[in-house]
Amino acid sequence: MEPGPVDPTQLYQQSSHRSQSIWDTSSTVVLSCRRREAASQRTIPFDQRIEPYLEAAGFLGVSQIGFMQLDWHLITALVERWRPETHTFHMPCGECTITLQDVAIQLGLPVDGEPVVESLIYNWKQVCEDCLGVLPPDMKGQRLSLPWLAKQFTVLPPDADVVTIQRYARAYIMQLIGGCLFADKSNTLVHCMFLPLLSDFDEAGTYSWGAACLAWLYRELCRASHAQSLEIAGPLMLLQVWAYDKFPIVAPQVALQALVDRPLGFRWSGVQPKSEQSANMLLTYRQIFDRLTHTQINWTPYTSDVMTLLPDRCHNGQLIWTYVGPLICFHIVELHAPDRVLRQFGMHQPLPSFCNTNPALHRIDLRGKHDQDWCKIHVEYITKWHSRNEFCVKGVATNEPTVSDDYFSWYSSITRRFITTDGAYYYRVNNFVQDVRAYSMEHNLQDLGSMCDQFLENIEHIIQQTKRLNVADTDRRCIRRKRRRQDNNVVDDIVEGDQDNA
């Protein structure tokens, strides 16, 4: 069975997508998840005196979520279904994606505000001295060392004045930015471009940090979806909690944290991912997503009961949650396309139009661009963002997730249906057996129906046995590294993901 797409006009990058490599080579490479969040949680302690400044700047909610262990295998399985051509995950029963709604509810970041974009023409050492009160001895281009920053802001003195407290608050926010929300693959650096936007906390609170965070995540997902990619960075905590709520079948089955004036993502704080319980969960996640049905997706997890438990900051920007247009974060511009996933908003899903995420925008990065004014370069996209209320989808509300009559025939022709050959094989066999079972029921052939049930059980048993034998070399190496670290009791400045799971 061909995995698709039958019509390649939409998924035109299939030949270089990692799903093609998996189909051709049965690759089981697990992406390395880069972040410094674990270290930042240990090095700059939260002090109640900075809370008003975090609230004013829009970062209090995300600061309350706490440490979350990443599931490398789940994140890899999701990246395998992410499509840079549509900015959506292509599941068997349709598209789904992370939207501005998810950022607001899960992280509590403001999504309706000014775009996070500025000129990069600054004396960056002077900016650091003005905003942080310290002068970095050495800078990597326009980036600050996070370990160095942590050493400058260890404990806020009891007699600290207002200026000192504000500087501490900026350093704390920069750790959140570089360690989690806008993490890059360096794992130890944060770009100073964010710092001028934090000089005035009230003004900082007028920016759409949520839209910028989502643009950053989209860019990382697009890069990681390439067949040759080995790493991913960005706000991976957002990706993971979104997946837990969207696909309960992959979520850890544990009692969740009670919400007390915190964003929804806090519920999963401290929860051990499933991949800690098994050495090769990637194959399991692939199987789950290859066989996912529409009833296994919680299209609208944010019920009225859930929303009433959340603070006001998680309700912000509701009028633009269905905005279709560019998301901006300095050099990054990524398309937000909720019109393709209207079931997530309790609306009927018609056939979406052709999606153009503009591959040229994906190629823009900061290399060699140390003196750019992104406000001028991206003026076209900034102008559209400023008119965002005019580009919001107004769909037909439904009680159950519904699609147009021709949706699935269209979708089956343009999507990549399977990631693995095992998934395609199971689908084909299962369809055949279901047809035989239906025939047996129609003609009262009960014995034949029982044989079909037994046959499917045998197929399932074979799949499970194959998964146990097919443990990836990548996984074994990571497990050995983890055991060596435990034996040597190495706990300090390393890639947080290496401590997670592999």
- Per-residue confidence (pLDDT) for residue 60, from 0 to 100: 97
Residues 367 and 485 in one domain: no
Q: Coil, strand, or helix at residue 367?
A: coil
How many separate domains does the chain show?
2
pLDDT digits (tens, 9 = 90+) for 332-359: 999 999 999 999 999 999 999 999 999 9
Task: For residue 2, give both structure tokens.
Answer: 């061909």
Q: Which regions of the chain are under pLDDT 70?
A: 1, 36-42, 277-279, 430-435, 437, 439, 444-452, 454-456, 458-502
Is residue 281 a part of any domain in this protein? yes
Residue 171 lies in a domain: yes
259 contacts 310 by C-beta, under 8 angstroms? yes
Residue 341 maps to a domain: no
Task: Give me Rg for the CA atoms of the chain.
Answer: 24
Which pTM value belongs to this model? 0.89
- Helix, strand and coil in the chain, % to nearest 5: 50, 10, 40
Helix axes 281-290, 72-79, angle to 10 degrees: 40
Q: Residues 233, 34: contact at Cβ < 8 Å?
A: yes
Q: Is 337 part of a structural domain of the chain?
A: no
Distance (Å, rounded) from C-alpha 172 to C-alpha 46? 8
In a domain, 198, yes or no: yes
Same structural domain, 48 and 160? yes
Residue-level pLDDT at 494: 38
Same-domain status, 363 and 495: no
Q: CB of 342 within 8 A of CB of 348? A: yes
Instruction: Give the separation between CA 494 and CA 502, rounded to whole angstroms.
Output: 15
Whether residue 367 is found in the same domain as residue 445: no
The beta-carbon contacts of 119-127 under 8 Å, at least 24 apart in sequence, are: 119/372, 119/373, 119/374, 119/375, 120/193, 120/330, 120/369, 120/370, 120/371, 120/372, 120/373, 120/374, 121/371, 121/372, 121/373, 122/192, 122/196, 124/192, 127/192, 127/195, 127/196
Please tell me whether residues 205 and 284 are part of one structural domain. Answer: yes
Say if CB 348 and CB 398 are below 8 A apart: yes
| pLDDT of amino acid 109 | 98
CA distance 392 to 383: 15
Which DSSP state fits 91? E
Both tokens of 405, joined, read 């009559």
Please give the pLDDT value at position 139.
81
Scanning the structure block, which residue is given the tokens 């994140």? 75
Do 478 and 364 belong to one domain? no
The reply to whether 449 falls in a domain is yes
- Of the chain, the end-to-end C-alpha distance in Å amounts to 31
Kindly report the number of other CB atoms within 10 A of residue 226's CB atom. Answer: 15
Check residue 491 and give its pLDDT.
37
Q: For residue 342, tell me if it sits in a domain.
A: no
DSSP state of 491: -
Residue 2 lies in a domain: no
HSE-up (13 A, CA, CB side) for residue 311: 19
Q: Is there a single domain that holds both residue 155 and residue 226?
A: yes
The CA dihedral of 253, 37, 88, 338, to the nearest 10 degrees, is 100
Examine the domain organization and report whether 447 and 367 are in the same domain.
no
pLDDT value at residue 492: 39
* Same domain, residue pair 312 and 452: no
Secondary structure of residue 422 in the 3-state scheme: helix
Domain range spanning residue 66?
14-319+354-372
pLDDT tens-digit map of 15-54: 999 999 999 999 999 999 987 655 545 477 899 999 999 9
Q: Which one, of 401, 290, 293, lies nearest residue 342 by Cα?
A: 401
Domain match, 313 and 446 both: no
Phi, psi of 237 (to 5 degrees): -60, -40
One domain, residues 299 and 445: no
Per residue in 271-312, pLDDT (tens digit) is: 888 877 666 799 999 999 999 988 999 999 999 999 999 999
The number of angstroms, rounded, from the C-alpha of 494 to the middle of its chain's C-alpha atoms is: 22
